[in-house]
Amino acid sequence: MLTKSLKLLGATGLALGVGLGVAQAQTEIEMFFPVPVEGKLAKEMQSLMERFNEAHPEIEATAVYTGSYDETNLKTRAAIKAGRPPAAVIMSANFILEYQLNDEIEPLDPLIEAEGSSADAFMDRFWPALHGNARFADRVWAVPFHNSTPLLYINADHFREVGLDPDNPPATWQDWAAAASKLVKREGGETTRWGLMLPENYDYLGWIMTALTMSNGGLYYNPEYGGEVYYDTPSMLGALTFVHDLAHEFEVMPAAITDGKAVSTAFFAGQTSMVVLSTGSLSFIRENMKDDYRVAFVPRNVRNAVAIGGASLMMPKGLSEEKKQAAWTLMNWLTSPEISGHWSRFTGYFAPNRQAYELPEMKQFIADNPDAKVALDQLQYARSWFATYNTVAVRKALEDQVQAVITGDKQPKEALEAAQENADAQMRPYVEATALKLPASM
């Protein structure tokens, strides 16, 4: 009996040992997620993490909530410098280039090739407009996760009230200004309803200026070189002059800085008839807008054009091989057709994985919510998002000056000259490091 008991004890100990070994072998990883802790997106991401962990018992993934895109960028850099990088980051797509320039990011090609695929085949899963911010310098650096374009949202009731057709929204800048002028309301010298409002806080404002400059036929930056932006150019001068005139000549939008939250609040309250906001705001607007509304392309001057926004999944350098593999598993799972489609339906961002739209549930969703199709239709005119060396400072160099124009403190031309000078100074270290220095004898 004693021998039998010892054998049972030994078998139990062996089983426990195996169990402990499995527990010890579990790879724990963190993913930085750029939203506040509160709110529906954080709760839904937590639910996704639980689903992932249940399906992958060898991995324990935790979402760490890191604030705005800019805050997530700062926290990621701090973690890398401290030698404790997260395994994955949902990073603003226009920051990926800077991580590559600073040698702080893992190229994903070896992981793609280890699965028997190629970079071309892997990127073909995603909409072509998303490729530029994810694949460059002969490598794949990021996986598109949730993406957006700016859209024009209009209050259909207001349009009908002034004799405009909400199903024929303004398509050109001229039509846009004319519609805004009809929609604005003033009583006793006070504006009670604006024709249009734009988000003018940092990050959002640069994105909107990108769209307006591109739709005026220009480029915002050199997508092939991280040390060149086109602020002091005729195309951007036209875009900024248009913004100036909306605020100061037509007086159809506030001559004050309004952030994205205030813009959406004013839209819900009927205090503005048109707004430009992200595709990512669509679900929020759909749930909270009481009046009838429509969604449309951002109006054009020379051409239809917008910049891609949103975020991609990236893998910082400094990870163990186990964490790399675990992060890659998570990144592929989050960008699969099923999860990509689910996240799109929940948030309003369009699904970057094209195959998501072949799923029955996604086809039904688009049929039930035709406003979600507008962003997809606009994708054919979308281009890469502004990305340079020292991205935030270079972007802010412009945003500071645009804000000064909106508030009436500067005129467009002088503002853009100052923006260009500041941006060039911010990019100078990269420009000097990459300048071709020919021998004096030549």
CA 342 to chain centre: 18
160 domain-assigned: yes
Rounded-to-integer distance, Cα 314 and Cα 6, Å: 52
Beta-bridge partner residues of 399? none
Kindly state whether residues 167 and 282 are assigned to the same domain. Answer: yes
Kindly state whether residues 262 and 282 are assigned to the same domain. Answer: yes
Kindly state whether residues 300 and 354 are assigned to the same domain. Answer: no
Residue 292 gets which letter from DSSP? -
What residues make up the domain containing 208?
A: 150-308+384-425
Kindly state whether residues 347 and 290 are assigned to the same domain. Answer: no
Higher pLDDT, 10 or 220: 220
Kindly state whether residues 133 and 60 are assigned to the same domain. Answer: yes
Give the pTM. Answer: 0.89
Mean pLDDT of the chain: 92
Query: What are residue 160's phi and psi, to 5 degrees?
Result: -65, -35
Question: Among residues 202, 352, 195, which one has the least CA distance to residue 280?
Answer: 352
Instruction: Output the domain CATH number for residue 368.
Output: 3.40.190.10
Distance from the first to the final alpha carbon of the chain = 95
440 domain-assigned: no
Q: Which of 9-23, 30-44, 162-176, 356-370 has the lowest mean pLDDT?
A: 9-23
Kindly state whether residues 174 and 225 are assigned to the same domain. Answer: yes
Joined together, the tokens standing for residue 177 give 């200004």
12 domain-assigned: no
430 domain-assigned: no
Looking at residue 20, its pLDDT comes to 43
5 domain-assigned: no
Query: What's the rounded mean pLDDT across residues 109-122?
Result: 97
Query: What are the start-end ranges of the E strands in 99-223?
Result: 135-136, 139-140, 143-148, 150-155, 185-187, 190-193
Query: What's the rounded mean pLDDT across residues 16-43?
Result: 71
| pLDDT tens digit sequence for 148-174 | 999 999 999 999 999 999 999 999 999
- At residue 316's C-alpha, the angle toward residues 90 and 106, to 5°, is 110
Asked if 328 and 111 count as a contact pair (C-beta separation under 8 A), the reply is yes
Query: Quick one: pLDDT band at residue 291, thresholds 50, 70, 90?
Result: very high
Residue 363 CB partners (closer than 8 Å, separation 6+): 357
Kindly state whether residues 402 and 301 are assigned to the same domain. Answer: yes
Rounded-to-integer distance, Cα 55 and Cα 312, Å: 23
Asked if 64 and 30 count as a contact pair (C-beta separation under 8 A), the reply is yes
Joined together, the tokens standing for residue 98 give 């800077």
Looking at residue 14, its pLDDT comes to 38
Query: Quick one: pLDDT band at residue 435, thresholds 50, 70, 90?
Result: confident
Residue 333 CB partners (closer than 8 Å, separation 6+): 52, 55, 56, 339
- At residue 82's C-alpha, the angle toward residues 65 and 309, to 5°, is 40
17 domain-assigned: no
Number of domains in the chain: 2
Tell me: pLDDT of 8 over 60: no
| pLDDT tens digit sequence for 400-433 | 999 999 999 999 999 999 999 999 999 999 999 9
Kindly state whether residues 366 and 390 are assigned to the same domain. Answer: no
Query: What's the rounded mean pLDDT across residues 36-51?
Result: 84
Tell me: pLDDT of 61 over 60: yes
Kindly state whether residues 257 and 403 are assigned to the same domain. Answer: yes
The one-letter amino acid at 117: S
DSSP for 280-307? Answer: GGHHHHHHH--S-EEEEPPPBSSS--EE
Between the ranges 16-20, 292-296, 346-350, where is the mean pLDDT highest?
Answer: 292-296
Residue 324 gets which letter from DSSP? H
Looking at residue 35, its pLDDT comes to 78
Kindly state whether residues 169 and 273 are assigned to the same domain. Answer: yes
Kindly state whether residues 321 and 350 are assigned to the same domain. Answer: yes
121 domain-assigned: yes
91 domain-assigned: yes
Question: Among residues 277, 253, 280, which one has the least CA distance to residue 265?
Answer: 277
Residue 295 parent element (H or E) = strand 293-296
Residue 55 gets which letter from DSSP? H
Kindly state whether residues 280 and 367 are assigned to the same domain. Answer: no
Rounded-to-integer distance, Cα 209 and Cα 215, Å: 10
Query: What are the start-end ranges of the E strands in 340-432?
Result: 382-383
Q: Which value, to the nearest 10 degrees, does the dihedral of the CA atoms of residues 312, 28, 329, 81 take? A: 40
